[in-house]
Structure 1
Amino acid sequence: MDAPRLTVARARRLRRAMTPPELRLWSALRRRPEGRKFRRQHPLGPYVLDFYCDEARLGVEVDGLAHDLGSAPARDRMRDA
């Protein structure tokens, strides 16, 4: 399977396994605040954004406890750069 398909498959898995903080934010974003449509677990290159608004070109990443463990801090720094 090529990289884009793997990223899309990963995004689908993440949509089914959203964390409690992601679920809380999604419950607000799905109401289209200020008329803006957000997508959840949106693939972008090799990454999957937790939420994305195309109109505003805005990506939102919800970092919870899992982002403090193991190699996650280094991966997050690379992603953010």
Structure 2
Amino acid sequence: MTYELLKEDARSNRKNMTEAESIFWSVVKKNALGERCLRQHIVGDYIVDFLFRRSKVIVEIDGGYHFTNEQQENDALRTDWLEHQGYKIVRFTNEQVLFDTNKVIEIIKVSLSREIRGSL
């Protein structure tokens, strides 16, 4: 995919977030966790749901289609590529974000602090 197409898709994704993505964004925007979070950000040939660039933590919030065999294979390839670029990927389901938001945020806080400590 060309960068321009990715940029259009990312813009569309930002305008049409899922309920879980909206809830997550409302909690993490404006440096709420001590680090700026970007949503629907382009990394290589991929658009990641949320990126904490300084600590290189990517948060993916997966809906039901992520549980098909084909999508799981695609997600595995994507995760492998992103990890080889130095990113840590943390995945949650929509349900986890919707119904256990506090636990999701605590896991993110731990991931951010580990990645920041690891880069010092």
- TM-score above 0.5, yes or no: yes
CA contact (8 A) 2:48 2:58 kept: yes
Cα distance change on mapping 1:18 and 1:34 into 2, 3 Å = closer
Higher helix share: 2
Which residue does the alignment assign to 1:3? 2
Taking only the aligned residue pairs, the percentage that are identical comes to: 30
CA contact (8 A) 2:28 2:37 kept: yes
Task: Kindly provide the CA deviation profile for residues 23-50 of structure 1, in whole angstroms up to 9, marking residues without a partner as x.
Answer: 1111111142342110100011110010
* Inter-partner Cα distance in structure 2 for 1:62 and 1:56: 18
* Inter-partner Cα distance in structure 1 for 2:33 and 2:12: 29
Count of aligned pairs: 80
Pairing of 1:29-44 with structure 2 (within 5 A): 29-44=28-43
- Bigger Rg, structure 1 or 2: 2
Uncovered stretches (5+) of structure 1, i.e. residues with no partner: none
Q: Secondary structure at the match of 1:60?
A: strand
Uncovered stretches (5+) of structure 2, i.e. residues with no partner: 81-120
Q: Secondary structure at the match of 2:61?
A: coil
- Counterpart of 1:26, as a letter, is W
* Inter-partner Cα distance in structure 2 for 1:5 and 1:18: 20
